[in-house]
Amino acid sequence: MNNVSQLLVGHPVERMEDARFLSGSGLFVDDLERDGMLHAAILRSSIAHADIVSIDTSAALRMPGVHAVITAADIGGEIPVIPLRLAPLPEFEPFRQPVIAADKVRYVGEPIAVVVADSRAIAEDALEAIDVQFEALSAVTGRGATEDALFACADDNVSLRYSAGFGDADAAFANADYVRTERFSVQRHTALPMETRGLLAEWDSSSARLIVTGATKVTFYNRRALAKMLDLGQDDIDLIEIDVGGGFGVRGEFYPEDFLIPFAARKLARPVKWIEDRREHLMAINHSRDVACELSIACRSDGTMLGLRGAVFSDMGAYIRTNGGVVPAKAAQFLPGPYRIPNVSVSVETFMTSKTPVGTYRGPGRFEANFFRERLIDMVALDLGIDVAEIRRKNLITEAELPYPIDGLVPYEGPTSYDTGNYVEVFERALLEIGWRDKCHLQGRLIDGVRHGIGLGCFVESGGAGPKENAALTLERDGSLTIAVGSSVLGQGLETVLGQIAADTLSIPFDRIRVLHGSTTLLDEGFGTYHSRAVVMGGSAVLDAAKKLREKILEQAANHLGRPNSELTIADQHVVAANGASVSLAALATEQVLSADGTFANTTRTYSYGTHAAHVTVDPRTGRVEILDYVAVEDVGRAINPAIVHGQAIGAIVQGLGGVFFDHLVYDEEAQLLNASLADYLVPTASDFPRLRAVTLELRPSLTNPLGAKGAGEGGIVAVAAATANAVAAALTPLGVEIHHLPLTPPRLWRLIKDARDRTPTAA
């Protein structure tokens, strides 16, 4: 029972989904079997840039068990291209990716053919029998013109340039006491969810309907895109979301395979399943980051920030996919961070290379922007002789200044402002948690062969993207509740959170609630999960539906009991009148269908914020870094389930530290990916970072949604590079080492230390 004294929202309720995961009863794409099911494998380009001279599939087609080999010629007509879901700037149109290569390949891993066979093994063997003749072209591995441009419309391989800003940056820099300019970069890496991608497509010839299982994140959008490509009506396609082994931004976007596998199923009128192996996952799924920035700051001599100039350069890979220019745009937008900087000028340049296309990855652009800005702030503080905490305290936006406008930094967005918050209070809490006052004397000190450093990183993070989300609640005949929501579940505990909201509103026991999510069969329209929107938008839609359903239940009970609604309460799965008369929820649901639809629409973003602090040691003999203490403090407005928020934060910190020390997609001069396996692409393990802490605060609820929630899924990662790199730099300051580039691998740090000592032999 959930009465006023037993509300679930705000409490660490155990996740309802964990029972099936821990018992092994979860249902993932590769668990699915169908009668007559075939298996697909994809021939991917082994060369980074080339014209396709010919494709001979005859030998593969003769192999026993092979049912089809699909190339661009088999699709016929104009080859569909991947749509732009976000940041659909017209400049990107010529660079969109065809779902299969027809006459040219532009990166290693680009699909050339699809083999469909009786088994996955046969399909993979048949790939070897396909003869593709290439005429090699020069690979494009970086910014600037090359001998062979990737696209005829861009000789210099630049796909977009724009400038934006507010205030008068030129005047600020002209009148400043101090100016510093530095160049920074964050390496290319990817999210690497535990489960690789997979799809099962089924075509019903009799009804001309298509069912695709394994879709996630933005299923309704992807259905619209697929329907257009296949010349079908939206209602002729169902996209079904089941359990998903992680998403982090890369899973669930529309990829070439989201067309190719359904196309194969319709062509053969047989169920077709495709499961990505880890090697092709690393080659084919969206990469991310890979952003450089030239950043300049103008200050008074006391450290007051007057202006900021940033030039962002982003390697987009071979094509522009669904996320458009979101990554560089957000890297530019969040360069000012939570600081009072009245004059800002930014420029963005995106360029194309012979690498896997990029997309969003948890905290896109924010991870990079915070690293760039916070490193520069530490350098400024050192130059001006100001404590790195004091210079931040001096420039943080105060609560009295909120809402604080940051208009004009993104060309495809309207006006926006940081909403509610107390940035200074959260900052001071982080200093307290890390023990800043007691540890300041350790900065750069050599103790037992290692140097200590403590670093800070402040951030502000947007979430809750609109335009809306939908939900439908149904009281079942047994008195249980079914929730259907357009938001997708990617392992983030959304089922539990939505159950808590509904349980409190309807006074229905939590264990009597079932949550269905993401699939296009559940609702007429849904918008999915991205930009930390699932609780803000989806949770608010559930709240709206629950309130409506409660009124319907009470109205039905009033008719049944002959008492006015004002005398009725819901308790113990009954509606009880003031005179003691009662009727069960099950009885009411049997008498009449009781359901309600809910919607929450809003285009105003939420802004969570916080400060990260790290205490590290660096061994100057080896470049090895050890995290002695790490704390992330964030105000999320309202935590529906503090345990889930805490778990999200810790997981995000680990992912961020992976991006600082491990994750790196390495290409050679021919644009060949050198580490497309988990033997070579390193990620953190459970034992790498045991000393992590997250402090979740609920200081200032959001005013944009009835739950008061702000996005909480990305704040744990966005300032990790900033705080950690500052700590490492502080440890190595006595050696004359400065940190500009990630990752901070032991070999890279060792080389920086050696180079510094070579420049200044007396440094110790």
Task: Dump the DSSP string for 518-539.
Answer: S-TTT-S----S-TT-IIIIII
Give residue 41's region: left, alpha or beta (phi > 0; psi -120 to 50). beta
Rounded Cα distance, 521 and 215, in Å: 12
What the chain holds in terms of domains, given with CATH numbers, is 4-27+465-601 (3.30.365.10), 32-137+196-244+251-284 (3.90.1170.50), 288-464+605-759 (3.30.365.10)
Closest CA to 361 of 216, 252, 464, 268: 252
Give the pLDDT score at 762.
Answer: 62
Name the residue among 623, 578, 592, 597 with its Cα closest to residue 728.
Answer: 623
Q: In this structure, are residues 378 and 387 in contact, taking their beta carbons and an 8 Å threshold?
A: no
Q: Tell me, rounded to whole angstroms, the distance of Cα 237 from its chain centroid.
A: 26
- Block means of pLDDT (10 residues each) for the chain, 764 residues, are 68 95 95 98 98 98 98 95 94 97 98 98 98 97 86 93 97 98 98 97 97 97 98 97 96 98 98 97 98 98 98 98 97 98 98 97 98 98 98 98 95 92 98 97 97 98 96 97 97 96 97 97 96 97 98 96 93 94 96 96 96 98 98 98 97 98 97 97 93 97 97 96 98 97 98 92 59
Q: HSE of 295 in the Cβ direction (CA atoms, 13 Å)?
A: 27
Could you please report the per-residue DSSP string of 270-322?
A: S-EEEE--HHHHHHHS-BEEEEEEEEEEEE-TT--EEEEEEEEEEE--SSB-T
Full-model pTM: 0.96
* CA-based max dimension of the chain: 92
Give the containing element (helix H, strand E) for 758: helix 746-759
Q: What is the pLDDT of residues 284-336, one digit of tens each?
A: 999 999 999 999 999 999 999 999 999 999 999 999 999 999 999 999 999 99
pLDDT at residue 3, as a whole number: 45
- Report whether 634 contacts 453 (CB < 8 A): no
pLDDT value, residue 763 = 53
- Cα torsion for 161, 166, 167, 169, to the nearest 10°? -30
Residues constituting the chain: 764
Structural element, H or E, at residue 495: helix 494-506
Closest CA to 234 of 255, 209, 252: 209
Angle at 130 between CA 125 and CA 132, to 5 degrees: 145
Residues 192, 287: Cα–Cα separation, whole Å: 9
